[in-house]
Amino acid sequence: GSGVAWLIMLLAGVLGNACEALVIGPGRLAVGASTATFGALGALGVLQTLRKWGGWRDARSVFSRTWIPVGAAGALLGWMGSGPRADIAGHVFGFCAGMLLALLVSPLLRRKAAWYWHLLAGLVATGALALAWHLARL
C-alpha cells in the first residue's frame, strides 16, 4: 500500500543520507530528497524481482527474466543518478538502503495487510517528515 511505500521511501532517504555522512564525513554539502527517490527505485526493483521470482521460479541463471526489474532499476540509477553536480554517493546509498529495506519487509508483504496498517505507516511517515521540518526550522 501507499503508506508502507512512503515509510520505506522516507527510511531509505534517512539511511542513505546517514550512510553518506558516515562515509564522506565533514564537508558534505548535500542532503536531498533524491536520496529517498532512488531508495524507492531500489525498493521497487527488489520487490518486483521477488514477485517475478515467486511466479517463475527460474532465478537460477543470471540470464533469467527474474532479474530484469533489478537490472532496470540499476540502469535508471546510473542514467538519472549521475551527472556533474549530482550527489552520486547519496543516490547510491539511498538505492542500496531501499533495496535492503525491501528485502526486510518482503516477508510481511506476502499477504495483503489490513487497510489500517497502511494508514498507520503513512501517518508515521508524515509525522516523521513534519517533525524533521519543525526541528530544521528551530
pLDDT recorded at residue 39: 95
Q: Could you give the residue ranges of the DSSP H alpha helices within the chain?
A: 2-24, 34-56, 68-80, 88-105, 115-137
**E strands within 41-95?**
none
Instruction: Tell me the mean pLDDT per 10 residues along the chain, length 138.
Output: 89 92 79 88 91 64 72 89 84 95 87 86 93 87
State the pTM of this model: 0.84
